[in-house]
Chain A
C-alpha cells in the first residue's frame, strides 16, 4: 500500500493528485468517503482532480464527461472508456492506496502539449 496523505489534510469535497505514473486522483466526497481513480481523463489530457466533484461522481474539468468514483465508469462521451479505480484504505487517519494492476485507459496523444506540438 502506498501512503497518500493524512485524511485530515484532505477536506471533504477536495481532491489530491498523487504524482505517480500515471498520476492518481484521490477524492474525499461530501459524504466522507474516499475514492481513488486515475487522474487523467480517458478522452484528453485533463486532470480529474481539477474536476467538479458531486456526490460520487467527478465531472471532467474540460468536457464534462462524468466518471463514477466507485466503478470508474463514464456517463457519456466525449470520454468513452472508464478510468481505472484503485483500492483505498484509511487507517489511523492516514490514506493508503493499492494501485490497480489493470492497464490504464490513457487518452490518445490528444493535447499536443504532451506531444510537443501545437494544441
Chain B
C-alpha cells in the first residue's frame, strides 16, 4: 500500500492519520477535508467557545510540534469515489488516487425544512456555525432551542449563562430518552428548569415565522414562542452521499464490521459516518461520540494495514460526556439494552449520582452525574466485561419504553 487517503480531516480522520504513522505506514498520506481548517475540537463549540471562555487557538487538535508527514488537501470536499482507479474526486475538480482509503467524512447537522435563509436561525456543527451563533448570542434576547438532545441542552446552558431568556422545545415526551433512557433522561433534563430555562416536551414545531428574520416559533399545539434567535439541534445525518454508486454498502452511514472494515477491500470507515457492527448491541450502530472518533480509528487502521486479518479486541463501550449548567454528565455503554437502572451512589434529587444500567443483572451501561471518580471505575469494569459481551438474542425485546 503506497498511498492512503483519509477523507475527512476532523478528529476521526486525524486519529486515523496518527494511527497509520504509529502503526508503521511510511507511504504517501493524504488528508482531505471539506472545511478550510486544520482539525479542531468540536465539543467546546457548544460550551467554552460559545461562551467566549476559550478562543479558536484553543481548539487545535494537533500538537504544536506534531508532524504526520502528510499532504493536506483542505477546503474542498469529496464528491465521488471511483472504484475503478481508486480515486477520490473533489468538489473543485481535483482527484486523489490512493491504494487504501479511510472514510471519515463525519455528519452534518439536520436542518428544519423551510427555515433556510431565515436570519437568526442557527445549527451548530462547524466552527463557522459556532462563530455565527456566538455573535448572535452576544445580542442577548430570547432564544428558542429546537431539540432537547445534548447539543440543544448545552447551547441552552451556555446561552442561559450569558443571560438570555431560553426555551427548549422537544418533540419527544422525554428528552434524552434515546441515549439515557426515559427515567434518567428526565432527571438530566430537569437541570433546565432548575436554572431558569423553560423545557416544553411532547410538542413538535410547525413552522418558524418571520419575513427576513425569525420572529417566532410556531408549535403544533397552536402556541407561538417569540424568538430573537433559534437554534435547531435535531441531530445529524452521516455525510455519505458522495459514496452513492461506489459499491460500498450504505445503511445509515457506511456499514462496517466490528473493526471498521467495509465490504470493499482496502477501504475502512471511522467516526460519525461509520456504522460499525457492535456485538454488545447485536447490530450496526453509528456512534456519534468524540471518544469513538478518537479511539476507533486505531482498530480500523490495523484492519486496513493487515487486510482484515489481525485479531483485535472490540472497541471500548461507547462513552460520552456533557457539561450543562456546571454539572458534568458522563455515560458509557448502551442504555437501550437495559431492563433496569439503579442509583448506586448519591441521589437524583441532588443531581450528583452514579446510576448503573443492567440487563438480566449484568451491567450494560453507567451514568455519572458529577461523579467522575466512581464513574471511571464503573466504566472500566464495563470495558472489561465488554470484551466478552452478553449475547443478545435477536428476538429479545428492546423495550421502547426504556428503563
From 53 to 106 in chain A, residues with beta carbon under 8 angstroms from any chain B beta carbon are 61-64, 76-78, 80
Chain B residues with CB below 8 A from A78, complex form: 41, 61
Q: How far is the CB of A35 from chain B (nearest CB, A)?
A: 18
Q: Mark B30-62, 1 if CB is under 8 A from A, else 0.
A: 000000000001001001100101100010111
B54 and A108 form a contact (CB under 8 A): yes
A3 close to B (CB within 8 Å): no
Interface footprint category on B:
35 or more
Contact A49 B373 (CB under 8 A): yes
Is B28 part of the binding interface, using a Cβ–Cβ cutoff of 8 Å?
A: no
Residues of A within 8 A of B228 (CB): none
The distance in angstroms between the C-alpha atoms of A52 and B330, with both chains bound, is: 14
Residues in A neighbouring B60, C-beta threshold 8 A = 77, 80
Chain A's closest residue to B368 (CB) is A61
Contact present for B63 and A51 (CB under 8 Å)? no
Question: Given A108-B53, A110-B53: A119 and B324 within 8 A (CB)?
Answer: yes
What are the residues of chain A within 8 A of B158 when measuring CB–CB? Answer: 118-119
Does B95 belong to the interface (CB within 8 Å)?
no
- CB neighbours (8 Å) of A110 from chain B are 44, 48, 53-54
- The main secondary structure of chain A at its interface with chain B is loop
Chain A: interface residue total (CB-CB under 8 A): 24
User: Across the two chains, which residue of chain A brings its CB closest to B159?
Assistant: A118
Nearest chain B CB to A64 CB, angstrom units: 6
Interface string of B309-329 (1 = CB under 8 A from A): 000000000000101111110
Pairs across A and B, CB under 8 Å, 18 listed: A47-B372, A50-B372, A50-B373, A61-B372, A62-B328, A76-B18, A77-B62, A78-B61, A80-B60, A108-B53, A110-B48, A110-B53, A117-B162, A118-B161, A118-B324, A118-B325, A119-B47, A119-B154
Q: 3 closest A-B pairs (Cβ-Cβ)?
A: A118-B161, A119-B323, A50-B373
Known A61-B373, A108-B58; further 15 A-B contacts with Cβ < 8 A: A47-B372, A52-B376, A52-B379, A64-B294, A64-B295, A77-B61, A80-B63, A80-B64, A110-B48, A112-B48, A112-B51, A118-B160, A119-B157, A119-B158, A119-B323
